Amino acid sequence: MSTAGKVLTVLVLLVMVGWLVMLSAVTQLNVNWEQRIAKIDKDFQAASDRVAKANKAIIDFTDEARVEQANRDRDLREVDGRLSAAERRQSDRNEDFSRLQIQVADYLAAVKRAETNNATREAERLKGIDDLAKKKDEIAKAQATNADLRDQLAKLQDEFKRLLADNTAKLPNAAQDRPTTKPASSSRPAPAS
């Protein structure tokens, strides 16, 4: 064999060994990739199962959240209704309270006016009692004065009756003892003009 044949044979052998190494490397690479792909497929399947479970859980959670939200909304509307009713009641009570305050203020003003009127009436009553007492004192004094005057009148009447009786008794005696006198009209001087 010639050198070229020997070199070619060695080269062919070397190429074959290279091909074998390459082939085994490719085969090993394929096996590794198949294992990786199988693992990735398995992981993908597991992830798909987890995604499906997660999607189902999300859908369930969303449904529960909607139901809970609907319940919360209903409760909120109910609480809002109660709150509105309570605010209306409070507003009514405040209105009633304001009305009562106005009425109390009116009543207090009326009471003050009544107290003022009562004080005025009491002052008038006390003044009337005082005036009545003064009038009673005046009447008592007037009655005492009247009694004194009546006593004096009675005394004077008695004195007059006694004097009249005395004078009546003296009259016949006086007519006899009387001197003759001139008429009074002639002795009077004429008035000066």
Express each pLDDT in 143-177 by its tens digit: 999 999 999 999 989 988 998 888 888 877 766 76
Helix ranges restricted to H, the chain: 3-177, 184-187
pLDDT of residue 189: 58
Return the number of other C-beta atoms located less than 10 Å from residue 8's C-beta.
Answer: 13
pLDDT of residue 190: 57
Express each pLDDT in 21-37 by its tens digit: 999 999 998 999 899 99
| Overall average pLDDT of the 53-60 stretch | 92
CB 31 within 8 A of CB 23: no
How does the average pLDDT of the chain come out, rounded? Answer: 87
- Is the per-residue pLDDT at 127 higher than 60? yes
What are residue 179's phi and psi, to 5 degrees? Answer: -80, 160
pLDDT of residue 191: 59
Separation CA 68–CA 56 (nearest Å): 18
CA separation (Å) from 58 to 45, 47, 90, 108? 19, 15, 45, 70
